[in-house]
Amino acid sequence: MAEPFKMALPSLMQHLGVLEDSSLVRSEKVGRVRTYKLTQETMRVGEDWFVRQRTLWERRLNQLDSYLLEMKEKENGKD
């Protein structure tokens, strides 16, 4: 199971445990087989948060870009 990720199985299981603790995945064990599934609602909440953060940072970076362009124009006007 861990081979495609180039990590040891205990490390992969630890990562899956963190994802399960944060409700991003849930697992079900039947016999010796444990199946993991994404938790859609939690993933949706996370996606919404990322969209809000991206929007915020895009606005801030656009403001910084405008400010720097303004400063450059002022500096070029002094020459």
pLDDT tens across 20-67, in order?
Answer: 999 999 999 999 999 999 999 999 999 999 999 999 999 999 999 999
7 — pLDDT class (breaks 50, 70, 90): confident
- Count CB atoms within 10 A of the CB of residue 41: 9
More confident residue, 52 or 5: 52
Residue 79 has pLDDT above 70, yes or no: no
Instruction: Using the structure block, give the residue that is written with the tokens 């990322």.
Output: 50
CB of 25 closer than 8 Å to CB of 16: yes
What is the predicted pLDDT for the residue at 72?
Answer: 94
Distance separating the N- and C-terminal Cα atoms of the chain: 65
Residues 40, 28: Cα–Cα separation, whole Å:
16
- At residue 68, the pLDDT reads 96
Both tokens of 57, joined, read 């940072």
Domain boundaries, the chain: 3-38, 40-79
